[in-house]
Amino acid sequence: MKKIMLPGSENYWHAYERGEDLDTAFPGQDASDFAIAVQYNGSPEELKDVAVVALVCVQFGANDDEGWVWHVDFADGSKWVVEGWCDYTGWDCQSGLDWTLMS
């Protein structure tokens, strides 16, 4: 089981490093976009130090177009749907994430 922590739980200097680890752990899931989106938009406080154990991109997005949708399972047993969007400049300008707890 791969465990990749979210921001606040490790000392990555930037989300791009975290994204590389996520891409390695969860290939083909736009994991680096997920990491950068979390870096700039945050995650629920209760997930700050909880490891990601599964990450599946169910809708691939594009800047200034359709958004991304990920299904994310955490080591605490919670399952979330995360919807994200960003403008043409990327996650560091105008962007957002919506977190919905599924279980």
Q: Considering only residues 25 and 70, tell me which one the structure prediction assigns the higher pLDDT.
A: 70
Q: What is the pLDDT of residue 23?
A: 82
**Residue 16, token pair as written in the block:** 């791009």
Is the overall model pTM greater than 0.75, yes or no?
A: yes
Residue bearing tokens 């994310």: 72
> Does residue 85 have a pLDDT over 90?
yes
Q: Considering only residues 2 and 38, tell me which one the structure prediction assigns the higher pLDDT.
A: 38
**Residue burial 45-58, b: 16+ Cβ < 10 Å; e: rest:** eebeebbbbbbebe
Binned at pLDDT 50, 70 and 90, residue 97 comes out as very high
Q: Considering only residues 30 and 12, tell me which one the structure prediction assigns the higher pLDDT.
A: 30
Q: What is the pLDDT of residue 82?
A: 96
Q: What is the pLDDT of residue 14?
A: 59
